[in-house]
Chain A
Amino acid sequence: MIFHIDANSFYAACERLFRPDLLHTPIAVLSNNDGIIVALNQECKDLGFKRGDVYFKEKAKLDKSGVVVFSSNYTLYADISARLNLIYCRLCSDVEVYSIDESFLYFPNWQTEDLVEAGRVIRSTVLQEVGIPVSVGIAPTKTLAKMCNKLAKKRGGVCCWDELDKDAELKNYPVGDLWGIGYAKTALLARHGVMTAFDLKNYPLHHAKKQLTIMGFRTVQELNEIAAIDRVERAKRQNICSSRSFADAVDDLSELKVALADYTQEAVKRMREDRSACRYVSVYLMTNPYSEVGEQYCNCESAELPAPSSYLPDILGTAIMLLERIYRSGFRYRKVMINLLGLEDDKVLQQDFFIDTTAKERENAFMDAFDSINNRYGRGTVHLGVRDNPSKADNWKMKRDYLSPEYTTNLRDIPVVV
């Protein structure tokens, strides 16, 4: 049996955990750069706000309704998420972490007799030990477990497929609410008269495969209680991209270089964690495409490295060169982005006859030391020389005006008891 566990309004629940003054207060959490609302609690939904609302448009209304707004505090959310998963791992030997607030637990069929009771134990343990409410959907397939979880939210937090009047539930469930059936597929299915999960369950498999691709085909199988969707094997990424929008526009080349160096360092770190090396480097530079004031500019330039590399100085040197090529003075830039492409396994690098392998080993040892210093003492402890302008560094950092403290990960930020 598959248990799907979802933390309810997770970001808002994390924020509330350490703010006893916000017990019944509506809470909204904003995306990076305080752009849109990404999470809200029930009290905030009841006021009519939704995910995706643009913050600056709704700001006046939010203030007037007494909604407390937070910037995303991923340090806090990641710590709380890890606590949830530690508890799941204690209760179940086979846990698949699906996202920051969702996990699948696989229980062998002999292990649990009373599934609903097992679901309640998970729920009450997490609430007691971490203080975060979760809901539990229990079914033989992942698609049905996710559907049961949605039903659970309105039915006491636990919902088990085998206890339901199955066809009646499927007939009441809009097909677009199913896992993996997005907006485009919903519209396509509607044209074929498929409106509910029940319609899709009985949809001929050969049609499903033709019209919905293999993923839709699997959804139909899963609705028929045939487990078809494997756990997300963390397939190696095809490319690694690192970028952020600047809080304030930047027009100075040296400032852009400093930002690009930071994002490049981040991208190379992720690539090295995957044990990959890249062959191509692309750099993008853009002004705000939605601004109507003044002339806009955006450009991208790519380069091929002489050999696949995961060596930061090589990649950063190339990236800086590309940036200099596409930079035009006089524009107010909003975003610089680096994309590493043509990734391949770092261990089986094709040897270039002209490249000295002992130099490669030295480079690798250097990068290992570089990464472990930054892992141990924090990101940016050591960095390459272009980052020479610390006084201006704040300008291109993320905008996070409503950031809560690092309650659980920084001793200076722990909550105070009076």
Chain B
Amino acid sequence: MTGFPSPAQGYEAKAIDLNREIIKNAPATFLMRYSSSDLLYLGIFPDSTLVIDRSIIPVDDSLVVFSHEGKFKCRKWVQKGSSVVLVNGQGNEIELSEDVQVFGVVKTVIRNLA
């Protein structure tokens, strides 16, 4: 150490790191592009980027990505009595069964405006 210590010593702020804020568990985090407009009622626009964390266990009201009939789909996880249904507000519910493989829980949605 030479010279005078900076008067800001001890007060330096770290720059905000969005990776750190959004990605809590890196090995379990995957990105996917949402292409449908079904979830507009949840504020999710087509062409948004979904940040999916596979380590999160879905609970009532979670948004999940799952595969069904050979495609990735994104819906809300709703507890209905003892079973679970996946809803997109369009009426056609999908019941959680052998035909559904949960990929992971959507943790963050990124939408670029400019």
Do B28 and A417 touch (CB < 8 A)? no
Cβ < 8 Å to A, chain B residues 17-43: 25-28, 30-36
Structural contact, A21 and B70, CB atoms closer than 8 A: yes
Contact in complex: B72, A23 (CB < 8 Å): no
Q: For the complex, is A131 an interface residue (Cβ under 8 Å from B)?
A: yes
B107 interfacial contact with A, CB 8 Å: no
Distance in angstroms from B17 CB to nearest chain A CB is 18
- A272 CA to B73 CA in the complex, in Å? 46
B79 at the interface (CB under 8 A from A): no
Chain A residue at smallest Cβ distance from B39 = A417
How many angstroms between the C-alpha atoms of A87 and B65 in the bound complex?
22
- CA A293 to CA B23, docked complex, whole Å: 57
Which B residues, 31 to 65, have Cβ-Cβ distances below 8 Å to chain A?
A: 31-36, 49-50, 54-55, 65
The interface bits of chain A over 127-149 (1 if a CB of B lies within 8 angstroms of the residue's CB, else 0) are 01111000000000000000000
Contacts A83-B27, A87-B27, A129-B55 given; indicate if A414 touches B32 (C-beta within 8 A).
yes
Q: How far is the CA of A164 from the CA of B103 in the complex (A)?
A: 35
- Give the interface size class of chain A: 10 to 19
Tell whether, in the assembled complex, residue A86 and residue B72 are in contact, meaning their CB atoms are under 8 Å apart: no
Per-residue B-contact encoding for A384-414, CB less than 8 Å = 1, 0 else: 0000000000000000000000001001001
A20 contacts partner chain B, Cβ-Cβ < 8 Å: yes
Does any Cβ of A come within 8 Å of B108's Cβ? no
On whether the beta carbons of A21 and B27 are closer than 8 Å, the reply is: no
Q: Which residues of B contact A21 (CB under 8 A)?
A: 70-71
Is B74 among interface residues, defined by CB-CB distance under 8 A?
yes
By the criterion of a CB under 8 Å from any partner CB, how many residues of chain B are at the interface?
A: 25
Name the contact of A417 in the complex, choosing from B25, B26, B73, B101 (C-beta under 8 A). Answer: B73
The reply to whether A129 and B72 form a contact with Cβ atoms under 8 Å apart is no
Q: State whether B26 touches A128 (Cβ < 8 A).
A: no
A130: contacting residue among B27, B32, B50, B65, CB under 8 A: B27
> Which chain A residues lie closer than 8 Å to B50 at the CB level?
417
Contact A417 B55 (CB under 8 A): no
User: Does B71 contact A129, Cβ atoms closer than 8 Å?
Assistant: no
Are B55 and A131 interface neighbours, CB within 8 A? no
Shortest Cβ distance from residue B64 to the other chain A in the assembled complex, whole angstroms: 11
Whether A23 pairs with B70 at a CB distance below 8 angstroms is yes
Interface contact B35-A416, CB-CB below 8 Å? yes
Q: A131 vs B52: C-alpha distance in the bound complex, in angstroms?
A: 13
A20 touches B54 (CB 8 A): no
Q: Is A418 an interface residue (CB 8 A)?
A: yes
Q: What separation, in Å, do the CA atoms of A20 and B36 have in the docked complex? A: 18
State whether A129 touches B25 (Cβ < 8 A).
Answer: yes
Nearest Cβ distance between residue A39 and chain B, in whole angstroms? 22
Give the residue name and chain of the B residue nearest to A82 (CB): B27
The answer for the CA separation of A130 and B100 in the assembled complex, in Å, is 17
Decide: B49 and A20 in contact? CB cutoff 8 A.
no
Chain A residues in 8 Å Cβ range of B74: 417
Q: Is A415 an interface residue (CB 8 A)?
A: yes
Contact between A131 and B54, CB atoms less than 8 A apart: yes
- Interface flag for A84 (CB, 8 Å): yes
User: Is A416 touching B33 in the complex (CB atoms < 8 A)?
Assistant: yes
CB atoms of A129 and B33 under 8 A apart:
no
Most buried by A among B36, B101, B103: B103
Distance in angstroms from A364 CB to nearest chain B CB is 29
Q: Which 7 A-B pairs have the closest CB atoms?
A: A20-B67, A21-B70, A129-B28, A83-B27, A86-B27, A417-B72, A417-B74
**Which residues of A pack against B, CB within 8 Å?**
20-21, 23, 82-84, 86-87, 128-131, 408, 411, 414-418
17 A-B contacts (beta carbon < 8 Å): A20-B68, A20-B72, A21-B70, A23-B67, A128-B28, A128-B54, A130-B54, A408-B30, A414-B33, A415-B33, A416-B33, A416-B72, A417-B34, A417-B35, A417-B50, A418-B35, A418-B73
11 other A-B residue contacts (CB within 8 Å) besides A414-B31, A415-B30, A417-B65 = A20-B67, A20-B68, A20-B70, A23-B67, A82-B27, A83-B27, A130-B54, A131-B103, A408-B31, A417-B35, A417-B74
